[in-house]
Structure 1
Amino acid sequence: MAMNLNMAGGAQGMMKEGSTLADGVDEAVLKNIGATKQLAKIVQSSLGPNGMKKLIINHLGKTLVSSDCGTIARELEVVHPAAQMVSMASAAQDSEVGDGTNLVVSFSGELLKLAEELLRTGLHTSEIVQGYELAYAECVRVLPELEVARVKNVRDAAEVAKAIEPVVAAKHEGVEGILSKVIADACVAVLPPAPEAPILKADQVRIAKLRGGDVASSTMMKGMIVMRPSETTVQQLEDRSKVVAFNCGVEMATTETKGTVLIRTADELINYNKSEERALEAIVKEIADSGVKLVISGGSVSEMAVHFLEKYQLMCLKITSKWELRRLCGATGCTALVRLGAPTPEEMGSVSKVSTKELGGRTVTVLEQLGDAQTKIATVVLRAATASLIDDLERAVDDGVNAVRMLCKDPRLLAGGGACEMELSKRLRDYCEASTGMDHYALAKFADAFEVVPRALAETSGLDQTKVIAELRDQHAAGDATAGVDLAATLSGGGTGAPVRDGYAVKESALRLAVDAAVTVLRVDQIIMSKPAGGPKK
């Protein structure tokens, strides 16, 4: 049997038929770098407030128009394993921080592009990796020194709105003044009272998308909007009405086993039906006697139940999603019950006002908490003319909410507009001059890679990239650490005017993930692919 084997087949003879293997700098490393460079090239032009949008038609035929890097990388469905690592780093940044995804992809792509130049000059991969890790360690040490401001009070909506304005502008320039105020009001409304630590969860701020009107009509409200009307004729409630929520349907429970009832006369049939009616009416009467005015059902509401709810003048909302039911419980302060019956005072919640409105051609029910009433849920009502625009606004709001969430954890701010990156580049060049080993070259390239941010901002704004980079270098060499790209075709130095600020936690996380992705790609020296399962392709 040994004579049947291909003794001279090498690696191909060792593996299953149909497997492929690529190794070496040219076959593996440079091809991996080429794929990541292409992904970075796609998203770089979307960086900043003047970033270009991408029109993507996904595999389901849905059209997306967005400049959000997280959305672009997700919808592209990248299959190349090396580019997929960078895409996953971007997804990790999106889930952990919620902003800075473009910086992860752009910076890691630039690091790999400059590493390719070093490889072609003869440097070994391990020397480049060692230099990059040294440079990153120096950046981590220097970054706290670049703090220029901090949010002193995250419960001050005006201060928070000013801090997150650049984040919203980077996704949808022109409406940042409107959206940042709405987002800040919504986030501050759901923060716990002052003695407790300000902790914000992203899902505490809901988004209701209603087509029609313009962005200036977007508002915020404490509470929730349910995209359906009441099941009963009671459409309005005032004066802090009590609320009960059921995790089951408002109807008579069916038996667990099948049974047969023998009915001999018409009177027996009438009495059988009336016994079920009396039982259901007793349950509804108990609920009404407890003071409840609004019943929230997590399942179906039978016609008989609607009849008795009408009789006792109760409003009823049917919620089919268990997640929406959980958020409604957070908005009203009630507990979802698994039994049908009268709630205890601890299980009931309250709502200041319930009203049925027609917004954007849809009949919706609005549950609001007015005045100083506490709520765990706030809703941003977005208005826009087209579906693609309103989806893009939703992504901007999502980034703004995550920016506030990170400010609650770390209120420090860094100079934006590429100023922080240029200062890190300058500090790294100074550090590089003291280095004498082979990692000196990688340190210098790491410093050059930071210039991708101001260069991309200048390019998307129609400025001369070479002139902008040269002027920024001069200003930072002169000691101005806050000089960044001014999109009004001038350079803003010394923090004059309305300076752009970036969150410290966002920048720190983006640098870490970008360097990790780039180093991981550089460490790969072989690509081994097994034969795909499933037989021949169609």
Structure 2
Amino acid sequence: MALIEGPVPAMAFPCEVCDLQRKDVNFDLIKVEGKVGGKLEDTCLIQGIVVDKDFSHPQMPKSVKDAKMAILTCPFEPPKPKTKHKLDIRSGEDYKKLYEHEQKYFRDQIKLIQDSGANLVICQWGFDDEANHLLFQNKLPAVRWVGGVELELIAIATGGRIVPRFEELTADKLGKAGLVREVTFGTMKEQMLIIEECGSSKAVTVLVRGGNQMVVDEAKRCLHDANCCVRNLIRDPRVVPGGGASEMAASLAVLSAADKEQTMDQYSMKAFASALDVVPMALAENSGLQGIAEMAKVKAVQENTGNAWHGVDCMQTGTTDMWEQNVYEACASKSSQLRLATQVVKMILKIDDVITSGDVIDE
């Protein structure tokens, strides 16, 4: 089987999410976000994180430069008792005391945020109008109802720490980003937050657009499959020819080994080689060609030239050289396919009852 080892295409992944030293890709830094509306051609790559949220107050600034984010999992509200309680307010003075007590909680929480040096608050939970108004008055832009998965991605990308209590918030736990901005797009004036120039790492987001949710979901699945293919090439850059060429080359090699075998194993080896020929025949038939004739012709070319890159010309370009057609696949993927198929056959043979004519069955 022909193997080619070459450099991984530089445009396959941004170098920020690809570690060429370890030969791996950090998928945690690749977010695929889908949004219904627009055309599929409007899909774009954003150098940052996209969050399907907006600022909690309409008068908060639409962009924050040199953002220092407090990433919180605690709500902006006074603590609630976990047992049943009853509170009697009998006069206006009692109500005023209760109001001041709640205001003190809010002011203390905001002061802890300001003391840490944060200029942007990202909270997993919501907060009421009172807290929202106080945040706006203190010039602290805030985002609420951010999901747990998105919160973790923001923490990884910005180098911040998720803080469960206001008292634990310190300057070294803040996430850093060069720019956080709110964008509006589409006919429905949908708003999203884009976090760019992340401090810890360069996370990227693919914003998928489509006419309906089914198109968006299918595009997201296709992008994930494509990312996995490129990731496999980074792990192992070797490739084998497509178009059934690698199966035909393997079939020829197995037949050659079977001819040298003088035991009964040669029949199973020939059966294995015959099974490999099914793939190029199926490719030829699906392309409107004569399956057996096309496979025999290409296999003869491989034998005569010794070049295992000749495969089925599915696109009917006039050449059977898969390298010229740029048709190839990862060696790791092809090896896995052959290995798993062989294991399935071995498993079936082990569990199936095979009785030959020479066996004697004792009652």
Relative to the length of structure 2, the TM-score reads: 0.86
Matched with 1:307 is 133
Offset from partner CA, 1:388-438 (integer Å, 9 cap, x none): 333332222111111222223212122222221111111111111112222
Distance 2:129 2:83 in 1: 23
Offset from partner CA, 1:329-370 (integer Å, 9 cap, x none): 223221111102473222101122222233454623232324
Distance 1:460 1:342 in 2: 63
Distance 1:446 1:470 in 2: 17
Amino acid aligned to 1:191: C
Distance 1:388 1:264 in 2: 57
Offset from partner CA, 1:438-460 (integer Å, 9 cap, x none): 22222112112222322232233
Amino acid aligned to 1:349: G
Which residue of 253, 260, 268 maps to 1:434? 260
Which residue of 123, 128, 135 maps to 1:297? 123
Matched with 1:117 is none
Amino acid aligned to 1:367: I
Matched with 1:512 is 339
User: CA separation of 1:248/1:390 partners in 2, compared to 1, >3 Å: closer, same or farther?
Assistant: same
**Alignment pair present for 1:252 and 2:78:** yes
**Alignment pair present for 1:221 and 2:46:** yes
User: CA separation of 1:359/1:486 partners in 2, compared to 1, >3 Å: closer, same or farther?
Assistant: farther
Matched with 1:3 is none
Offset from partner CA, 1:27-76 (integer Å, 9 cap, x none): xxxxxxxxxxxxxxxxxxxxxxxxxxxxxxxxxxxxxxxxxxxxxxxxxx
Which residue of 186, 193, 199 maps to 2:24? 199
**Alignment pair present for 1:331 and 2:157:** yes
**Alignment pair present for 1:400 and 2:226:** yes
Matched with 1:413 is 239
Amino acid aligned to 2:38: G
The question of whether the paired residues in 2 share the 8 Å contact of 1:428 and 1:443 is answered with yes
The question of whether the paired residues in 1 share the 8 Å contact of 2:68 and 2:176 is answered with yes
- Output the aligned Cα RMSD: 2.5
Amino acid aligned to 1:481: A
Matched with 2:303 is 477
**Alignment pair present for 1:422 and 2:248:** yes
Amino acid aligned to 1:408: I
Matched with 1:321 is 147
Which residue of 303, 307, 324 maps to 1:497? 324
Where do residues 108-507 of structure 1 align in structure 2 (5 Å cutoff)?
A: 146-150=2-6, 152-153=7-8, 156-157=10-11, 160=12, 184-185=13-14, 188-192=15-19, 197-233=22-58, 234=60, 236-261=62-87, 263-319=89-145, 321-341=147-167, 343-360=169-186, 361=188, 363-370=190-197, 374-375=200-201, 377-478=203-304, 479-490=306-317, 492-494=319-321, 497-507=324-334
Distance 1:449 1:347 in 2: 59
The question of whether the paired residues in 2 share the 8 Å contact of 1:223 and 1:367 is answered with yes
Distance 1:423 1:231 in 2: 62
Amino acid aligned to 1:229: D
Distance 1:399 1:362 in 2: 31
Query: What is the DSSP-based 3-state SS (H/G/I as helix, E as strand, rest coil) of the residue aligned with 1:489?
Result: coil
Give how far 1:287 is off.
1.1
Give how far 1:298 is off.
1.4
Q: Higher mean Cα deviation, 422-431 or 300-309?
A: 300-309
Distance 2:221 2:285 in 1: 24
User: CA separation of 1:238/1:297 partners in 2, compared to 1, >3 Å: closer, same or farther?
Assistant: closer
Distance 1:362 1:201 in 2: 33
User: CA separation of 1:373/1:450 partners in 2, compared to 1, >3 Å: closer, same or farther?
Assistant: farther
The question of whether the paired residues in 2 share the 8 Å contact of 1:485 and 1:492 is answered with no
Give how far 1:191 is off.
2.7
Matched with 2:361 is none
The question of whether the paired residues in 2 share the 8 Å contact of 1:424 and 1:447 is answered with yes
Give how far 1:220 is off.
0.9
Distance 1:409 1:252 in 2: 51
Relative to the length of structure 1, the TM-score reads: 0.60
Query: What is the DSSP-based 3-state SS (H/G/I as helix, E as strand, rest coil) of the residue aligned with 1:497?
Result: helix
Q: Higher mean Cα deviation, 325-334 or 209-218?
A: 209-218
Offset from partner CA, 1:158-179 (integer Å, 9 cap, x none): xx3xxxxxxxxxxxxxxxxxxx
User: CA separation of 1:200/1:411 partners in 2, compared to 1, >3 Å: closer, same or farther?
Assistant: same
The question of whether the paired residues in 2 share the 8 Å contact of 1:221 and 1:368 is answered with no
Distance 2:76 2:203 in 1: 25
Percent of paired sites with the same residue: 25
Offset from partner CA, 1:209-244 (integer Å, 9 cap, x none): 223333332111132222232212225224221111
Give how far 1:246 is off.
0.9
Q: Give the length in aligned residue pairs.
A: 350
Give how far 1:491 is off.
5.5
Unmatched 5+ stretches in structure 2? 354-363
Amino acid aligned to 2:256: D
The question of whether the paired residues in 2 share the 8 Å contact of 1:369 and 1:375 is answered with no
Q: Higher mean Cα deviation, 228-237 or 509-518?
A: 228-237
The question of whether the paired residues in 2 share the 8 Å contact of 1:287 and 1:342 is answered with no
